[in-house]
A = this chain, B = another copy of it.
């Protein structure tokens, strides 16, 4: 099958590779000519801009947009809406906000252009492992694109089958689902990422507790100098907490047990935030997912204004003085006291 691909970053480029390696054709475009050239060398057709992509595709055209969510995707989808013809389809494989999908689909419908939102998980490993895809859009279009999705998906692989799934949609077992109408694909992917944050933070806190088990506040027999890398490794087999994220953690710790080269400055993307927003709209308690997001917010600041408020209050009621923040009186120094 033939697919246009806009955006050849880590995800877009490898999606094209996986398609080319399995007998599909691709017309590819990117701001960076080097990225286009690399894929042309692997069998893709290069195109300098959106118009060229459209011109080089056969109707009905299918153009996959794999760009950062937000302005880049919005602008590209809207421009494609002006270039494409009735019967064509735009696929947004990025991490758009699901409400944007609904709006775009409604805007494109009068032109006879279909829109499909695909939440795509797999990261830099997708070329090898395949991409887990959560798809939103009209059944007819999603079915028509099935050759693309089934190629990109991981397939059954050697993951044990889930008992009792006979008679259910077989696509789920192959690593992709038609989640529902427009927006549903990115909604499910959004929650996927929200869960991802929570899982990551759970591991992170646990390893932090292990790392600090040698604290000198404890008596000698209670101070443990634990091998964090070995612990990550041992949990990969037979334990309740084994997971792919744990595998990656074990990789990183085997490479550098102290993780000293990492700053610990952790970014977050839209999906984590939108997940909380969805939880709040639905009145679903999401304590863990929220805490995971906030830990990232906090990681990017030296100190919050909130903490300065706390310090100011403490000085106010107890005369507590921060290290270096003024000198306590002699009497105060003589005995630390209750307040």
Chain B nearest CB, measured from A78 CB (Å) = 17
Known: A240-B244, A297-B283. A209 touches B224 (CB 8 A): no
In the bound complex, do residue A122 and residue B179 qualify as a contact, i.e. CB atoms below 8 Å apart? Answer: no
Which of B213, B265, B323, B338 is the one whose CB lies under 8 Å from A93? B338
Binds B, one of A55-63, A82-90, A181-189: A181-189
In the bound complex, do residue B323 and residue A265 qualify as a contact, i.e. CB atoms below 8 Å apart? Answer: yes
Nearest-CB residue, chain B, relative to A176: B234
In the bound complex, do residue A224 and residue B332 qualify as a contact, i.e. CB atoms below 8 Å apart? Answer: no
Copies of this chain in the oligomer? 4
Q: List A188-226 residues whose CB lies under 8 Å from chain B.
A: 188, 191-213, 215, 217-218, 221-222, 224-226
Question: How far apart sit A236 and B295, CA to CA, in the bound complex (Å)?
Answer: 26
**Interface pairs A-B: 10 shortest CB-CB:** A198-B202, A243-B243, A248-B316, A264-B307, A264-B303, A204-B306, A132-B238, A32-B334, A252-B312, A132-B239
Question: What are the residues of chain B within 8 A of A124 when measuring CB–CB?
Answer: 317-319, 339
Binds B, one of A19-27, A42-50, A138-146, A153-161: A153-161
Chain B nearest CB, measured from A263 CB (Å) = 5
Question: What are the residues of chain B within 8 A of A280 when measuring CB–CB?
Answer: 273, 276-277, 293
Chain B nearest CB, measured from A240 CB (Å) = 5
Question: What are the residues of chain B within 8 A of A171 when measuring CB–CB?
Answer: 234
Known: A201-B198, A284-B208, A315-B252. A8 touches B335 (CB 8 A): yes
In the bound complex, do residue A217 and residue B67 qualify as a contact, i.e. CB atoms below 8 Å apart? Answer: no
Question: What are the residues of chain B within 8 A of A125 when measuring CB–CB?
Answer: 317
Cβ of A110 within 8 Å of any chain B Cβ, yes or no, is no
Question: What are the residues of chain B within 8 A of A262 when measuring CB–CB?
Answer: 307-308, 311-312, 315, 322, 325
Cβ of A147 within 8 Å of any chain B Cβ, yes or no, is no
In the bound complex, do residue B38 and residue A331 qualify as a contact, i.e. CB atoms below 8 Å apart? Answer: yes
Question: How far apart sit A281 and B210, CA to CA, in the bound complex (Å)?
Answer: 12
Cβ of A75 within 8 Å of any chain B Cβ, yes or no, is no
In the bound complex, do residue A204 and residue B310 qualify as a contact, i.e. CB atoms below 8 Å apart? Answer: yes
In the bound complex, do residue A94 and residue B264 qualify as a contact, i.e. CB atoms below 8 Å apart? Answer: no
Question: How far apart sit A336 and B31, CA to CA, in the bound complex (Å)?
Answer: 12
Nearest-CB residue, chain B, relative to A291: B287
In the bound complex, do residue A155 and residue B9 qualify as a contact, i.e. CB atoms below 8 Å apart? Answer: no
Question: What are the residues of chain B within 8 A of A211 when measuring CB–CB?
Answer: 305
In the bound complex, do residue B195 and residue A206 qualify as a contact, i.e. CB atoms below 8 Å apart? Answer: yes
